[in-house]
Amino acid sequence: MEQRIERAVLVGVRLDDDGQFDYSMEELASLAQACGVEVSGTVTQNLERPNPSHYIGSGKVKEILMFHDETDSNLVIFNDELSPSQIRNLETELDTKVIDRTMLILDIFARRAKTREAQLQVELAQLQYMLPRLVGLRASLSRQAGSTGGGVATRGPGETKLELDRRRIEDQIARLRRELESVKSHRETQRKRRVKRDVPVVSLVGYTNAGKSTIMNAMLAGIGDGAGRHVLEQDMLFATLDTSVRNIQLQDNREFLLTDTVGFVGKLPHHLVKAFRSTLEEAADADVLLHVVDVSHPEHRYMMDVTEDTLADIGIEGIPEIQVYNKSDLAGLEHPRKQGDGIWISAKQSDDISVLLEMIASKIFGDQVRVNLLIPFGRGDIVSYLNEHADVKETEYTEDGTLIDVELREADRERFSEFIAPPETAE
């Protein structure tokens, strides 16, 4: 079957208070390319407020129509979310398929979702977005009927879903919510197991394509994991959607769980944030957040703000954080360099990752204390636990039991307080 090539005109409206407009339009082009769409050009307009009926002015609609025909385009993508009536009116005037930034991002997520949970979350977000837009989207669908190979915004719930009436879509949304509740219940069980193990959790968060997966893989390589548990890493927006959890075992036997969540982006659709809420809440259980930033990007401060705002939207606040300024080599900055709760690194440099691991360890194991424990010979289970979960400095066998010089967490010191050796024994 011949693959239909989509060629799009990008449309943006610069409002008075939009200081990130230029970057937002660049990002829209990257999102389109991530969907395999060729960008034929860009049309922008300065407005105090969007036009209620077409989002843009009538003169600009005519300009887009002319440009669309001149470039032989078959798609128009708006940089902001459009109302159902705006989509309908624009498609009538332009006689072509019109989608907005939200639909474009949903389409990328539909293509990239691999696990059942991610697929359910994306499908739910798509249906919630489509429900009030059925009329406009049906018009768009009719324009696709003669094409081959599908195209943007025709995956996932796609064309068959658009033929369903409102009642059936609402029923489907209810079913998806029930399935997600079941998956969420399973995730909660996994979380409780982790809490029971009392292993610290570190979560990677940040803007899409900041290098979170690269950092996770570098940490795994640093502990000799090879490629066995590595996650996908690619230089593209939303390369991975699925939450990954890996155990990181340090050289001194201390360990923590490292989780990687979906990346954020400017104007991330509300439905998508809501649908991925249970996945993103992995970060809510973290002892430390690693906020990964592509410091080589000129808009990295804006990206940090988007990440912090999105975390706040889902109630993730007050968790200790390390700002990891990644790709510092591309920014021409010295690395690794620590400054307060921040560190400049290149994830490709193993020495940098070692320094980052030390910083994480000092953050999550800050309550470590060093004691001497005299363990009776009949309590080999305690000796085994300490060898596995603490940093044993020295072991000596005496007449009264096993004398262990160990660095452990304050909670474990209290747990084994009855075995703390008197000073004269430890000498």
User: 347 a known binding residue?
Assistant: yes
Mean pLDDT in the chain?
82
Return the pLDDT at 393. 86
Return the pLDDT at 46. 92
Beta pairing partners, 398: 401
In angstroms, the Cα distances linking 224 to 89, 201, 251 are 58, 20, 11
User: 330 a known binding residue?
Assistant: no
29: confidence class by pLDDT, cuts 50, 70, 90: very high
Q: Above 90 in pLDDT, residue 143?
A: no
Q: Is 293 found in the same domain as 276?
A: yes
Cα(225)–Cα(353) distance, integer angstroms: 14
Q: Above 90 in pLDDT, residue 111?
A: no
User: 239 a known binding residue?
Assistant: yes
We report the CATH number of the domain holding residue 255 as: 3.40.50.300
Cα(47)–Cα(80) distance, integer angstroms: 13
Tell me the pLDDT tens digit for each residue of 170-186.
888 999 999 888 887 77
Which of 198, 225, 243 corresponds to the end of one domain? Answer: 198
In angstroms, the Cα distances linking 215 to 281, 290, 349 are 20, 10, 10
Q: Is 357 found in the same domain as 381?
A: no
User: 142 a known binding residue?
Assistant: no
User: 210 a known binding residue?
Assistant: yes
User: 189 a known binding residue?
Assistant: no
Q: Is 228 found in the same domain as 123?
A: no
Asked if residue 147 belongs to a domain, the reply is no
Asked if residue 63 belongs to a domain, the reply is yes
User: 209 a known binding residue?
Assistant: yes
Q: Is 355 found in the same domain as 223?
A: yes
Q: Is 346 found in the same domain as 254?
A: yes
Q: Is 327 found in the same domain as 253?
A: yes
Q: Is 298 found in the same domain as 211?
A: yes
383 compared with 409, residue with greater pLDDT: 383
Cα(221)–Cα(196) distance, integer angstroms: 27
314 compared with 71, residue with greater pLDDT: 71
Q: Is 302 found in the same domain as 188?
A: no
404 compared with 241, residue with greater pLDDT: 404
Return the pLDDT at 403. 92
Asked if residue 77 belongs to a domain, the reply is yes
User: 253 a known binding residue?
Assistant: no
Asked if residue 234 belongs to a domain, the reply is yes
Helix (H, G, I), strand (E, B) or coil at 196: helix
Let me know if 152 is exposed, middle or buried by CB neighbors in 10 A (0-12, 13-18, 19+).
buried
Return the pLDDT at 156. 52
User: 266 a known binding residue?
Assistant: no
Q: Judge if pTM exceeds 0.95.
A: no
166-197 and 116-130 helices cross at what angle (nearest 10)?
A: 140
Q: What are phi and psi of 15, to 5 degrees?
A: -90, 160
User: 114 a known binding residue?
Assistant: no
Q: Above 60 in pLDDT, residue 1?
A: no
User: 346 a known binding residue?
Assistant: yes
Tell me the pLDDT tens digit for each residue of 249-291.
887 777 888 988 778 888 887 777 776 776 677 777 788 999 9
User: 276 a known binding residue?
Assistant: no
Q: Is 129 found in the same domain as 24?
A: no
Q: Is 247 found in the same domain as 203?
A: yes
In angstroms, the Cα distances linking 293 to 183, 207, 304, 316 are 30, 7, 7, 18
198 compared with 3, residue with greater pLDDT: 198
Q: Above 70 in pLDDT, residue 392?
A: yes
* Residue whose pair of structure tokens reads 């927006």 in the numeric block: 237
Question: Above pLDDT 70, what percent of the chain?
Answer: 82
Cα(379)–Cα(387) distance, integer angstroms: 13
Number of structural domains found in the chain: 4
User: 264 a known binding residue?
Assistant: no
User: 241 a known binding residue?
Assistant: yes
Asked if residue 153 belongs to a domain, the reply is no
Q: Is 320 found in the same domain as 204?
A: yes
Domain that holds residue 377: 368-419
Q: Is 317 found in the same domain as 296?
A: yes
Asked if residue 23 belongs to a domain, the reply is yes
User: 261 a known binding residue?
Assistant: yes
Q: Above 80 in pLDDT, residue 4?
A: no
- As a whole number of Å, the end-to-end CA separation of the chain is 81
Cα(426)–Cα(370) distance, integer angstroms: 12
Q: Above 60 in pLDDT, residue 298?
A: yes
Beta pairing partners, 356: none
Return the pLDDT at 395. 92
147: confidence class by pLDDT, cuts 50, 70, 90: very low
Helix (H, G, I), strand (E, B) or coil at 258: strand
Identify the DSSP state of 279. Answer: H
We report the CATH number of the domain holding residue 399 as: 3.30.70
Asked if residue 106 belongs to a domain, the reply is yes
We report the CATH number of the domain holding residue 92 as: 3.40.50.11060
User: 348 a known binding residue?
Assistant: yes
Asked if residue 45 belongs to a domain, the reply is yes
User: 211 a known binding residue?
Assistant: yes
